[in-house]
Amino acid sequence: MYKKFIVATDLSDDSLELMGCVGRLRAYGAQKCLLIQYRTVDEVIDYTRGQSNLPLHKYEEVFMNSKQNLIEEGFEVETRVLAGYPATEINKIAVAEDYSLIVVGARRRTSSGELYFSTLANDLMHAVSKPLLIMRPRRNDVEGINIDGCEVAKHLLYPTDFSNNADIAFTKVLEMAPGRAKKVTLLHVQDSAKLSPHLDEKVEEFNRIDLARLEGMKKLLQERGEIEVDVLVKYGSPAVEIIKTIDEQEIQLVVMGSQGRGYVKEFFLGSVSGNVARKARSSVLLIPTKR
């Protein structure tokens, strides 16, 4: 289903680590890769001044080695180098050339070694109109939590608020999971900010209704193929409960909807999808709303 895909990298060690995960996308039919490296003028200056762990020519070598490694894994690979503002350009390429998925690393390191959410991932999250896979290549061993962001077909989490946008994301889960993923967890979080205190007495009724909805989705998934499916209803802050579920169940991949309409106000206010994409230890696949 994701036969043609783009891998977007920048001049960072963490982007280079992303390349070790690309082969896992074969689980979803990946065959043809456009490997893009983004460079800003400031970055090139920093690298030529020695403010990087690797000189610029080494990144060029690693970039070409990454291409060769992907070819050896059986992918058809094209490479391009972009400068300027990459998110809009990458989206234009994805739309014009009919790529079905954009892949980007989640983390970026400063020259001092501090980790933060990748600027490239953040920009793409706001700009693209194609599904965006934000991958966390490294294994996270924190307080007994063992999540491998390279693994994308073992245990999927689908959080839903039953909106139209979430329903669109579920159509992707129906395509992806049966016959490919080993397990899917379907999750709905009763939003405490919307229910408390005036609708607290309705929570049990809402739980029954929403569990029935999730059971209907479970049935649809299992009709498509043999797969283990769990359903969960929780109460609290949606983003917080989704991230807790990721840690508790060692989820490798979250599939959820995003607005996908450019720089929308919701993201700056801290949307559920935006918060999960930035803070989750797992990889996150964001499915944009159809225009």
Task: Quickly tell me which residue has 């600027």 as its tokens.
Answer: 119
Q: Which of 106, 137, 168 is the last residue of a domain?
A: 137
Alpha helices of 186-237 — where are they, by DSSP H? 192-195, 203-224
pLDDT value of residue 42: 62
Give the separation between CA 67 and CA 186, rounded to whole angstroms: 36
For residues 97 and 161, membership in a common domain is answered with no
Domain boundary among 87, 108, 137: 137
Three-state secondary structure of 69-119: HHHHCCCEEEEEEEECCHHHHHHHHHHHCCCCEEEEECEEECCCCCEEECH
Residue 207 pLDDT level (bands cut at 50, 70, 90):
very high
Rama region for 287: left / alpha / beta (φ>0; ψ in -120 to 50; rest): beta
Mean pLDDT computed over 271-287: 92
Q: Is residue 291 part of a domain?
A: no
Structure tokens at 175: 């395509």
Q: Is residue 290 part of a domain?
A: no
Q: Are strands 145-148 and 155-159 parallel, antiparallel or unpaired?
A: unpaired
Q: Is residue 110 part of a domain?
A: yes
| Phi-psi group of 15: left, alpha or beta (phi > 0 → left; psi -120 to 50 → alpha; rest → beta) | alpha
* Paired tokens of 121: 């991932």
**Distance between CA 218 and CA 232 in Å, rounded?**
11
Report residue 216: phi and psi, to 5°: -65, -40
Q: Averaging pLDDT over each range in 42-46, 79-83, 280-284, which range is the top one?
A: 280-284
Q: Which of residues 137, 168, 188 is at a domain's end?
A: 137
pLDDT tens digits along 49-78: 555 555 567 667 878 888 999 999 999 999
Among 113-122, 169-178, 244-253, the minimum mean pLDDT is found in 113-122
193 and 168, same structural domain? Answer: yes
For residue 288, tell me if it sits in a domain: no
**Co-location of 88 and 161 in the same domain:** no
- 197 preceded by cis ω (within 30°)? yes
* Average per-residue pLDDT for the chain: 85
Of 116, 189, 186, 163, nearest in space to 266 by CA: 163
Structural domain boundaries enclosing 98: 4-137
Q: Are residues 15 and 133 in the same domain?
A: yes
- Rg over alpha carbons for the chain, rounded to the nearest Å, is 19
Residues 69 and 162 both lie in one domain: no
Residue with tokens 């490239």: 120
121 within some domain:
yes
pLDDT in tens, 96-154: 999 999 999 987 655 555 667 888 898 999 889 999 999 987 665 556 677 887 889 99
Report the C-alpha gap between 64 and 73 in whole angstroms: 14
Please give the angle made by the CA atoms of 187, 236 and 118, to the nearest 5 degrees: 70
Sign (positive/negative) of CA torsion 38, 109, 249, 239? negative
Our count of domains for the chain comes to: 2
Q: Contact, 169 vs 257, CB < 8 A?
A: yes
- What pTM was computed for the model? 0.88
**Cβ(287)–Cβ(168) below 8 Å:** yes
Q: In this structure, what DSSP letter does residue 33 have?
A: E
Once rounded to an integer, what is the mean pLDDT over residues 269-291?
A: 84
